[in-house]
Amino acid sequence: MSKPTQMNHEDVQAAEPPREWQRTISRMPFTMRPALNRELSEWGVLFPFERKMVGSFFDGADSLSAVELQTLTANLRSIETKMNIDRSSFNENAETLENSSQLARSAYYSAWRTQVQSVFRAIEAHAPAYSQPGPQPRRVVLLLLPQDLPVAPQTFSDIWKPVGSAVHIIGGAENLCDCLMSGRQDPSGNGSLFSGQSDNHPSSYWFIDAGHCQASAPSTATINAISSLSFTELKPFKDRFLAELNTIPRDMSEADKTITVLRQTDWTQWCPVAWKGQRRLQRFVVDLFLTGNGSLIFPNSFVEWGASEAFRRARPQVVVARFGMRYKPKPFSSIAIFEDQDKVSTLPDQDDPTGSAADAVILAKYVWLAAQRFSEYKEALCLCVSEHLNQGWLVLPQGTERRDLPGQLSAEELVHLVTTWRQRQ
């Protein structure tokens, strides 16, 4: 058995993944190969955290002898045989709809999923840790429901009361986002939420905005230092992408071909100018759009799914998710055509405050739940604010003393509380 090695900094920075990893993939059960090959083929657009995670997995796999790996994967290989997968149409080099369809319709799909997870866990147990030793950065998740969303107080409370503490925001909450992001009005001078600690990579700081309200947008300097996604700013990109996506015929192999083309297309001309040089961000959004979940359709779904994927792929230190307004469905669009209302009706758009608020409240909870899936966020601070209610719910890490938390604070005091907490080691 070879000795596990810690993936070094150069590997994370390298333009290409180590070649020997291809050999490692060939040792794995064939149904695991598409996902692993995809990671390698997309190495250039993986976030630093993803590269560390992938590297750690391969280090773990390489530390196993042939016999050990064979033993570890024996059950999975046995299930693969029973699944009777058509190898001629199963693509080992990329994750495809055809692959997913073949796997999902097998009677052994559930058992297969369990075994794949088991193999991953076992290999990860042999792998060197991918997080840095020493104290972890303090993470913050800020969820903002803007003033124009009439959030129902009872619903808001029902969701957050079991995990958080209510804070009434004296004098109104409308400046809170601005204060947190700019660092202004923090008497301690601790700076903005986006002020770096040990890690200054843009993928460590995310601002994801439904894009309806223009207030509190990050400054240009901040935008260049963070991963900033605005549904409104992405409209040209989104519209263009959707038009291409809608050309897919009702045929799985054709759909796979189109998706491959969409992934390989250079969308720079459709992207915000501020993204210049942030190739990973462009690719992140393409993947976001391709994985659906309403990210191409509704601004609040874009915010929720974007934040969830950011947690999974980049493990950021700070995520600010600001929800917003969607339009009411127009005649016909409610039949099924949500994609582009202007396509079917020239009637003016109308806001749907009540529906948007109902959507945003549950999707804000989903962002928090998405973070909670990862151990890095067990110690995170989460603040969900309804500007309409002048109320915030503060979720503090387990073990944090709450007795001294006042029931009401000014926006400045709340900013101070959050930024001070984040800066503390």
Partner 1 sequence: METFTQSRRTFLTTLAALLLDSWSLSRGFASVDHPADLSLQDQSKVIVVLCGGIRREDTFAKEGLANIPHLCTDLLPKSILYPFVHNAGVTSHFNTISSILTGTWQRLDDWGKTAPNTPTLFEYLRKERQWSEDRTWFISSNKALTNRIGASSVRDFGPGYGANVMFPKQLLIDAVVYAASKGKASRSADPYKMQPELAAMLEANNYEGLGWSVSGESSILNASARATVSQAIQDLLHANAPITGDEFTFLVGTEVMRRFAPSLLVLTFSDMEVAHFGSYSMHLAGIRTVDRLVYELWNQVEANPAYKGKTTLFVLPEFGRDLDGSVTNGFFNHREDCDSTRLTWMICTGEGVKPGDLSERVVQSIDICPTILHLFGLDPAQVAGKALSEMQV
Residues that bind partner 1 (CB under 8 A): 101, 104-107, 109-110, 113, 250-252, 292-294, 297-298, 300-301, 304-305, 308, 326, 328-338, 342-347, 354-356, 358-359, 362-363, 365-366, 369-370, 372-373
Q: Return the sign of the alpha-carbon dihedral for residues 186, 388, 301, 140.
A: positive
Whats the size of the chain, residue-wise?
425
Provide the token pair at 381.
């601070």
What is the phi/psi pair of residue 370, to 5°? -65, -40
C-beta of 412: minimal distance to partner 1 in Å? 33
- Beta strands across the sheet bearing 140-145: 227-230, 205-209, 318-322, 140-145, 381-386, 391-395, 165-170, 408-410
Residue type present at position 63: S
Task: Tell me the closest approach of the beta carbon of residue 358 to partner 1, in angstroms.
Answer: 4
For residue 335, the minimal CB distance to partner 1 (Å) is 4
Contacts of 71 (CB under 8 A, 6+ apart): none
Residue nearer to partner 1 on the CB measure, 216 or 295? 295
Hey, is 371 helix, strand or coil? helix
Rounded to a whole number of angstroms, the minimum distance from the CB of residue 324 to partner 1 is: 13
Give the side-chain half-sphere CA count within 13 A for 40: 18
Q: Which is nearer to partner 1, 7 or 103 (CB)?
A: 103
Q: Round to whole Å and give the CA distance between 393 and 173.
A: 12
Contact indicator for 388, 151 with CB cutoff of 8 Å: yes
- In whole angstroms, the minimum distance from the beta carbon of 333 to partner 1 comes to 8
Show the beta-strand stretches assigned E in 43-156. Answer: 140-145
For the bound state, the minimum distance from the C-beta of residue 109 to partner 1, rounded and expressed in Å, comes to: 8
Residue number, 215 or 347, with CB nearest to partner 1: 347
**Residue 230: which H helix or E strand, with range?**
strand 227-230
Nearer to partner 1, 332 or 406 (CB): 332
- The set of residues, in sequence order, having a beta carbon less than 8 Å from that of 92 and lying 6+ positions away, is 30, 33, 34, 37
For partner 1, the closer of residues 330 and 422 by Cβ is 330
C-beta of residue 156 within 8 angstroms of C-beta of residue 361: yes
Q: Which residues pair with 319 in a beta bridge?
A: 141, 206
DSSP state of 8: P
Is 94 in contact with 34 (CB distance < 8 Å)?
yes
Closer by beta carbon to partner 1, 225 or else 297:
297
Judged by beta carbon, residue 115 or residue 419, the one nearer partner 1 is: 115
In the bound state with partner 1, the residue whose beta carbon lies nearer, of 21 and 305, is 305
CB 163 to partner 1: min, Å: 12
Strand-pairing partners, residue 321, are: 143, 208
- Give me the least distance between CB of 356 and partner 1, in Å please: 8
Q: Residue 138 Cβ, how far from partner 1 at the closest point, in Å?
A: 23
Concatenate the DSSP letters of all residues of 126-186 into one string: HSPPSSPSSPPPP-EEEEEE-TTS---HHHHHHHHTTT-EEEEEET-STTHHHHHHH-TT-
Smallest distance, Å, CB 251 to partner 1?
8
Q: What is the DSSP letter of 95?
A: -
Compute the distance between CA of residue 207 and CA of residue 214 in angstroms, rounded to an integer: 13
- Taking the least distance from each CB to partner 1, the nearer of 110 and 420 is 110
Nearer CB in complex with partner 1: 258/410: 258
- Smallest gap, in angstroms, from Cβ of residue 200 to partner 1? 30
